[in-house]
């Protein structure tokens, strides 16, 4: 059974770096051609795609966040990570990690993702 679990601090101060972990079980993050995404949903708003790391380690980011975003992975732990620098209160959202069967860049269509984590609330506030 494939499971994804997000973890990280629930509160981040403005201008700091938001760091989240997605721990994956039941599926290897290096298996062709799965891709592993970060998606967020601010309160009262629609889903926003943040970025993706593919099975081969290649990464793609939302152009509006690209300058501040980094997605990396640790294959030995079967985990991937999100770092979002210089956060603002606009970064307050539920952050989710999810898997697609192939590379999907920019998608926020829930049915394109076979597996989701439960999501973690991150609040950006001083």
Q: Name residues of the chain where pLDDT drops below 70.
A: none
Locate 113 and state its tokens: 């993702």
Contact by Cβ (8 Å): 53, 61: no
How many residues can be counted in the chain? 126
Q: How many of the other CB atoms lie within 10 Å of CB of 53?
A: 23
pLDDT (0 to 100) of residue 110: 87
Quote the strand ranges of the chain, DSSP E.
3-7, 11-12, 18-25, 35-41, 48-54, 59-61, 69-74, 79-84, 93-100, 115-116, 120-124
pLDDT (0 to 100) of residue 104: 86
Q: In 3D, which of 111, 6, 106, 1 has the Cα closest to residue 51?
A: 106
**What 3-state class would DSSP assign to 113?**
coil
Q: What span, in angstroms and rounded, lies between the C-alpha atoms of 122 and 92?
A: 6
Tell me which H or E stretch contains 91: none
Q: What span, in angstroms and rounded, lies between the C-alpha atoms of 76 and 59?
A: 18
């Amino acid at each position: 059974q494939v499971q994804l679990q997000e973890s990280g601090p629930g509160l981040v101060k403005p201008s700091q770096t938001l760091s989240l972990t997605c721990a994956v079980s039941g599926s290897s993050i290096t298996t062709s051609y799965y891709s592993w995404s970060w998606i967020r949903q601010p309160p009262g708003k629609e889903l926003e795609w943040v970025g993706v790391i593919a099975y081969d380690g290649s990464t793609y980011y939302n152009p509006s966040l690209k300058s501040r975003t980094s997605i990396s992975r640790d294959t030995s732990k079967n985990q991937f990570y999100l770092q979002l620098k210089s956060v603002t209160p606009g970064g307050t959202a539920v952050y989710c990690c999810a898997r697609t069967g192939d590379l999907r860049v920019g998608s926020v269509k829930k049915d394109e993702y076979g597996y989701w984590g439960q999501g973690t609330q991150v609040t950006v506030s001083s």
